[in-house]
A and B are shown apart, each in its own frame.
Chain A
Amino acid sequence: MRPILLSGHERALTQVKFSKEGDLIFSVSKDHIPCAWYAANGERFGAYKGHIGALWTVDVDPTTTLLATGGADNTLRLWEVQTGREIKQWEFSTSIRRCEFSEDGRLLLGVTEKRTGQLSNIVVYNIDPTPGASQPDEPILRIVVDELPRVTVAGFSYLSKYIITGHENGSVAQWDGKTGELLHEVYSHDDGMSVTDLQWSADRTYFLTASKDKTAKLHDTNTLEVLKTYVADTPLNSAAITPEPTNYVILGGGQAAMDVTTTSARQGKFEARFYHKIFEEEVGRVRGHFGPLNYVAVSPDGKCYCSGGEDGYVRVHHFDPPYFDFKFEVEREKERAGY
């Protein structure tokens, strides 16, 4: 199907997320207004006005009641999805790089930027998902990250058992979700190559990290063992896992604008790349953006994906039937054998 172009933002997109039902898309960009869109036809559902700085991150709770956004105005805000009303605002001394709800929607995590005199903090709030409920002012957990380099990405594992963080130096760390104790740390990506994204599988038992070292790696949540590695030819900004039964990962990236010598789309490698999740082989590419892809997200129902680019557009692609039919011979074999 023809991709749908969401052109409501004025500046580079920073994150796009699907609602857990897969019907809405939430997008944030360096302009100050988060937007919500219908995934089916690309119509705008609404906007959330209030932020006064570039936005870095967005997430929505499992029931699509609450929306969390954070950005360079040093605030983390909570909105009512349906009405666009701002219901809570937390202020910090540095900007918010990342926020994420736990799988039950009762915890919200935020990562603050490390800057001179300020360490990266991971804050966790208790969230009450009932409409109209008041939200706490103080976090239940605050992790001050002083031993490890700057935190770039973070998220809750299944059952909120762990918090997983990705760091500027390419390492990935595992923290106790209750106590905030550092449990485990692995150096999965090349040293000095920042981890740029961390996305979960549907059940949050494994996750995918993307890095500037041009690879994306699939990790086990418990052991942090690298299960699979996907090698691309360009620095990656984002990597998403398609929900089962399809077994793909989608990688997005491209030469950063400052490194592009010529502004040709051919040189920049601004394509979404599809790899087979199990065989680690590239199976396809989708062109379209004319700037690096800053984020790719797959609908939880697996029927479409969208990408947000430095070029200011969100492109929503609904998969065509051949996508669902395509199988490697060994997969067919397995299916016939009754898998």
Chain B
Amino acid sequence: MAPSFEQLDPETEYEDQEEDIDYSDLREQYEVRMEEGLDTFIIIDGLPKVPPGSKEKLVKFLLRKLVTVGKTKEENVFMPMNEAGDMTEGFAFVEYETPAQAAAAVKALHATPLDKRHTIAVNKLTDIERYGREGRIEEEYKAPHIPPFEEQEHLRWWLGDHEGRDQFALYRADNVSVSWNEKDEQPEQIVDRAFWTETFIQWSPKGTYLTSMHAQGVQLWGGANWSRQKRFMHPGVNLVDFSPDERYLTTWSHRPLQVDDGNPILSLEEDGKNYIIWDIATGKPLRSFVTLDLPGPTEDAEGNPIKKKMQWPAFKWSADSKYVARMTQGQSISVYELPRMNLMDKASIKIEGIMDFEWCPANPQREGIKHYEQLFCYWTPELGSNPAKVGLMTVPSKEVVRTRNLFNVSDAKLHWQSDSAFVCVKVDRHSKSKKSLATNLEIFRVREKGVPVEVIDSIKDTVINFAWEPHGDRFVLITAGEVPHGSAVPPKTAVWFFCPEKAKGNQIGNFKLIRSVDKKNNNALHWSPNGRFVVVATVLSQQSFDLDFWDFDFEGEKEEKDRDLTANLQLMNTADHYGVTDIEWDPSGRFVATSASVWKHRMENGYHLYSFSGALLREEPIEQFKQWSWRPRPERLLSKDEMKNVRKNLREYSRQFEEADVAKKSSANKAVVDARRRMLEEWLAYRERTVEDLVEERQDMGLEELSEERKALIVDDEVDGEGKVVEEIFEEILEESEEVVE
């Protein structure tokens, strides 16, 4: 039975409890509202009581407000008089043309002041009927029942594994499983559920929750029992995104939400919206937004709709999750402050022409800046005679701390280094004739005084991929040559490795090319999360599937020409995974999982597991394999000194671990050998029994021990069991020629 969204609470695990349930409360809560024809009516309360003479004036006055949200006429406003007939009662009924207008009126006009003494209350007639009916609302206040505190499961239980193993989730066919990685052994499965998700799975950034996607919304799972922690109702949800601290969640659907009245979670506020930002702890929506259409024509010349590439995530989180921002392309950035989700300083930041922006991924430490700040980097294209610009802006002061002008820009990409020490702007520049493209790298040294910019313009081709070393200062990029027009073959690519030169003190020297390797097909870069190692791969290709494992700090001899560099580059290993579509490092940087997903093609779906150095540990073909996802880990809790200590005593630690590995291996081997021994014994016993029975049965029937077909094998050879060797000699005449000798 599948745990679908609506059913199955973790407490009432999969049991059918049809009998003897009192449904009356539910029936009341989810009462189907009949079409009563009263949906177009609203009631306005809190009007001034006026004599008949002023009534008309009041109605007219009121009408002016009423028509701002919908269509209604003077005849449709009914203001009853009191019994005596000399004063109005202070309320009025209004009929609108459509229920939607009535709903809009409630939303817009409720609690608006008419003058100092009168504030009108606007409600739907049906709501009055529903909630105002006798007995519906109890007269006496009853304190809500607060359930006693229950111990919750520890959400970070998996970090306590005594072997320090990592977990991964595997999605294949309709099943999602989570397993412990066991290196070259069969992974130890922890949980396996059918129909756990409907489209894909996603871990939260620190690995606390496993996210499952459903037609009705999103669910988060966690704890040792994989119980449901939270669910977020968002019908038709397509994508989710977490804030870095796992406190907030963004859900997005390409279809605008349709919220009905009486929805327990979503209010009319969310109606028609595409994005919802949730508070994970409360499970309540914080704020919702519609998708912004990108500027430009929506239809091409033939009237077909143009599919625009959506930016995901559209709402980008600052490193500390204090801010979330969205760009309105070409115009502005809206920065919202958490947890209230209010627009910062009540206005969007106008940046004319803005094309893209990126928050710094870690709290910035700019020189000489003591106060709190977050940074984001953005770029704008050439506008009229103004050059293209890259800027760095701080939040909350909204100060532009650095800009740089650029020319002939056709596109730019912003790449932050993971500690926010650098931001590299990859600028694709066209030549004057706009025929050829080349890429410049503009590297902003964010931590240095005045944010100096270093330019690398030695690259003649376009850069198709770029990646900083995590927590490091080295990077790798891939360039692609020009494609001859109409060519079906993707261009050959080249891989370039850069590092800073050695410099005095704590300075970081200029970036220098270590080596470039050309005539490759690579298109993907995957750094180990700890830096130093990088996998350069070819994914989603029809022809080549190579994986190159590079080491930046090779411990062997260093070449003379690299003496001044802060790296010693070495290709450790190459591997080949047919049809590889995805590559993911485990969070500890010890393993690399490469997989071929059925989402992309149907050939040899499954995964390979490599060690960091490129040794193939395991391969498993899995039919209908869809997704592999390592469970992320939160940041380390060890202090700098403690880590240094570990590094110093690495030899001692690795000895312990190796011993543990050997012990584990030998006990596992022993189990396998024992199982085999048992199987062999059983088989031999079975054979002995059946052979005996057969012989007996044949003897009973007066037959010989062996059947005719088995006798056929007995050859009475003179040569002892060796058989005769027949030698055949073939002579083939290849050519014959005759020469007449004079």
* Chain A interface residues toward B at CB < 8 A: 19-22, 40-41, 62-64, 103-105, 158-159, 202-206, 220, 227, 233, 261-262, 266-267, 277-280, 300-301, 328-331, 333-334, 339
Of the residues B679, B683, B710, contact of A202 by C-beta under 8 Å? B710
Q: Separation in Å of the A51 CB from the closest CB of chain B?
A: 25
Q: Which residues of A contact B707 (CB under 8 A)?
A: 62, 103-104, 158-159, 203-204
* CA–CA, A119 and B690, complex, Å: 35
26 A–B pairs (Cβ distance < 8 Å), ordered by A: A20-B713, A21-B712, A21-B715, A40-B726, A62-B711, A63-B708, A63-B712, A64-B712, A103-B709, A104-B708, A105-B708, A159-B697, A159-B698, A159-B707, A203-B690, A203-B710, A233-B621, A261-B602, A278-B679, A278-B683, A280-B679, A300-B710, A330-B677, A331-B680, A334-B680, A334-B684
* CA–CA, A262 and B602, complex, Å: 10
Of the residues B604, B698, B709, B728, contact of A20 by C-beta under 8 Å? B709
| A-B complex: 3 closest residue pairs judged by Cβ atoms | A20-B712, A62-B709, A62-B708
* Chain B CB within 10 Å, residue with most, of A20, A104, A300, A331: A20
Q: Separation in Å of the A68 CB from the closest CB of chain B?
A: 14
Is B137 located at the chain interface by the 8 A CB criterion? no
Q: Which residues of A contact B697 (CB under 8 A)?
A: 159
Binary flags per residue of B667-688, CB closer than 8 Å to A gives 1, else 0: 0000001001101100110100
Q: Decide: A159 and B701 in contact? CB cutoff 8 A.
A: yes
* CA–CA, A278 and B712, complex, Å: 26
Q: Separation in Å of the B542 CB from the closest CB of chain A?
A: 10
Q: Which residues of B contact A103 (CB under 8 A)?
A: 707-710
Of residues 414 through 450 on chain B, the ones whose CB sits less than 8 Å from some CB of chain A are: none
Q: Which residues of A contact B694 (CB under 8 A)?
A: 158, 203, 205
* Chain B interface residues toward A at CB < 8 A: 578, 602-604, 621, 623, 673, 676-677, 679-680, 683-684, 686, 690-691, 693-694, 697-698, 701, 703, 707-713, 715, 726, 728
Q: Which residues of B contact A220 (CB under 8 A)?
A: 690
Instruction: Contacts A203-B691, A267-B604, A329-B673 given; indicate if A105 touches B686 (C-beta within 8 A).
Output: no
Instruction: Contacts A278-B680, A279-B676, A329-B673 given; indicate if A205 touches B709 (C-beta within 8 A).
Output: no
* CA–CA, A266 and B545, complex, Å: 14
Of the residues B602, B679, B703, B712, contact of A300 by C-beta under 8 Å? B712
Q: Which residues of A contact B708 (CB under 8 A)?
A: 62-63, 103-105
Of the residues B578, B603, B691, B713, contact of A205 by C-beta under 8 Å? B691
Q: Which residues of A contact B701 (CB under 8 A)?
A: 159
Q: Decide: A262 and B603 in contact? CB cutoff 8 A.
A: yes
* CA–CA, A329 and B674, complex, Å: 11
Q: Decide: A105 and B709 in contact? CB cutoff 8 A.
A: yes
* CA–CA, A32 and B567, complex, Å: 70
A-B contact count (CB 8 A): 83
Closest A residue to B728 by beta carbon equals A41
* CA–CA, A331 and B703, complex, Å: 33
* Chain B CB within 10 Å, residue with most, of A40, A205, A277: A205
Closest B residue to A333 by beta carbon equals B677
Q: Separation in Å of the B114 CB from the closest CB of chain A?
A: 72
Q: Decide: A301 and B713 in contact? CB cutoff 8 A.
A: yes
Q: Decide: A328 and B711 in contact? CB cutoff 8 A.
A: no
* CA–CA, A41 and B715, complex, Å: 20
Q: Separation in Å of the A260 CB from the closest CB of chain B?
A: 10
* CA–CA, A235 and B390, complex, Å: 58
Q: Separation in Å of the B495 CB from the closest CB of chain A?
A: 26
Of the residues B676, B679, B712, B715, contact of A62 by C-beta under 8 Å? B712
* Chain A CB within 10 Å, residue with most, of B679, B710, B712: B712
Q: Decide: A261 and B690 in contact? CB cutoff 8 A.
A: no
* CA–CA, A21 and B709, complex, Å: 8
Q: Separation in Å of the B709 CB from the closest CB of chain A?
A: 4
Q: Which residues of A contact B710 (CB under 8 A)?
A: 20, 103, 202-203, 300
* Chain A CB within 10 Å, residue with most, of B673, B690, B728: B690
Instruction: Contacts A205-B690, A233-B621, A267-B604 given; indicate if A330 touches B698 (C-beta within 8 A).
Output: no
* CA–CA, A266 and B621, complex, Å: 13
Apart from A62-B712, A278-B683, A339-B684, what 17 extra A-B contacts exist at CB < 8 Å?
Answer: A20-B709, A40-B726, A62-B708, A62-B711, A63-B712, A103-B708, A103-B709, A159-B703, A203-B694, A205-B691, A227-B686, A233-B621, A266-B604, A267-B604, A277-B683, A278-B680, A300-B712
Q: Separation in Å of the A191 CB from the closest CB of chain B?
A: 17
Q: Which residues of A contact B578 (CB under 8 A)?
A: 266
Q: Separation in Å of the A12 CB from the closest CB of chain B?
A: 24
* Chain B CB within 10 Å, residue with most, of A266, A330, A333: A330
* CA–CA, A14 and B623, complex, Å: 28
Q: Which residues of B contact A279 (CB under 8 A)?
A: 676, 679-680
Instruction: Contacts A103-B708, A206-B690, A267-B603 given; indicate if A330 touches B713 (C-beta within 8 A).
Output: no
Q: Separation in Å of the B711 CB from the closest CB of chain A?
A: 7
Q: Separation in Å of the A54 CB from the closest CB of chain B?
A: 28
Q: Separation in Å of the B583 CB from the closest CB of chain A?
A: 21
Q: Which residues of A contact B698 (CB under 8 A)?
A: 159
Q: Which residues of A contact B680 (CB under 8 A)?
A: 278-279, 330-331, 334
Q: Separation in Å of the A121 CB from the closest CB of chain B?
A: 25
Q: Separation in Å of the A174 CB from the closest CB of chain B?
A: 16
Q: Which residues of B contact A334 (CB under 8 A)?
A: 680, 684
* Chain A CB within 10 Å, residue with most, of B578, B686, B709: B709
Q: Which residues of A contact B676 (CB under 8 A)?
A: 278-279, 328, 330
Q: Which residues of B contact A262 (CB under 8 A)?
A: 603
* CA–CA, A339 and B711, complex, Å: 24
Closest B residue to A214 by beta carbon equals B623
* CA–CA, A227 and B676, complex, Å: 15
Q: Separation in Å of the B153 CB from the closest CB of chain A?
A: 36
Q: Decide: A261 and B603 in contact? CB cutoff 8 A.
A: yes
Q: Decide: B713 and A300 in contact? CB cutoff 8 A.
A: yes
Q: Which residues of B contact A278 (CB under 8 A)?
A: 676, 679-680, 683
Q: Separation in Å of the A223 CB from the closest CB of chain B?
A: 11
Q: Separation in Å of the A202 CB from the closest CB of chain B?
A: 6
Q: Which residues of A contact B693 (CB under 8 A)?
A: 205
* CA–CA, A100 and B707, complex, Å: 16
Closest B residue to A103 by beta carbon equals B707
* Chain B CB within 10 Å, residue with most, of A62, A206, A339: A62
Q: Separation in Å of the A62 CB from the closest CB of chain B?
A: 4
Q: Separation in Å of the A19 CB from the closest CB of chain B?
A: 8
* CA–CA, A149 and B683, complex, Å: 32
Q: Separation in Å of the A263 CB from the closest CB of chain B?
A: 12
Q: Which residues of B contact A280 (CB under 8 A)?
A: 679
* CA–CA, A159 and B711, complex, Å: 14
* CA–CA, A41 and B677, complex, Å: 39
Q: Which residues of A contact B711 (CB under 8 A)?
A: 62
Q: Which residues of B contact A233 (CB under 8 A)?
A: 621, 623
Q: Which residues of B contact A64 (CB under 8 A)?
A: 712
Q: Which residues of A contact B623 (CB under 8 A)?
A: 233
* CA–CA, A21 and B683, complex, Å: 27
Q: Which residues of A contact B691 (CB under 8 A)?
A: 203, 205
Q: Which residues of B contact A204 (CB under 8 A)?
A: 707
Q: Separation in Å of the A296 CB from the closest CB of chain B?
A: 19
* CA–CA, A337 and B693, complex, Å: 25
* CA–CA, A7 and B248, complex, Å: 68
Q: Which residues of B contact A330 (CB under 8 A)?
A: 673, 676-677, 680
Q: Which residues of B contact A300 (CB under 8 A)?
A: 709-710, 712-713
* CA–CA, A233 and B677, complex, Å: 26
* CA–CA, A119 and B639, complex, Å: 79
* CA–CA, A74 and B683, complex, Å: 42
* CA–CA, A64 and B713, complex, Å: 12
Closest B residue to A158 by beta carbon equals B694
Closest A residue to B603 by beta carbon equals A267
Q: Separation in Å of the A300 CB from the closest CB of chain B?
A: 6
* CA–CA, A227 and B623, complex, Å: 26
* CA–CA, A103 and B693, complex, Å: 17
Q: Which residues of B contact A267 (CB under 8 A)?
A: 603-604
Q: Separation in Å of the A198 CB from the closest CB of chain B?
A: 16
* CA–CA, A267 and B602, complex, Å: 10
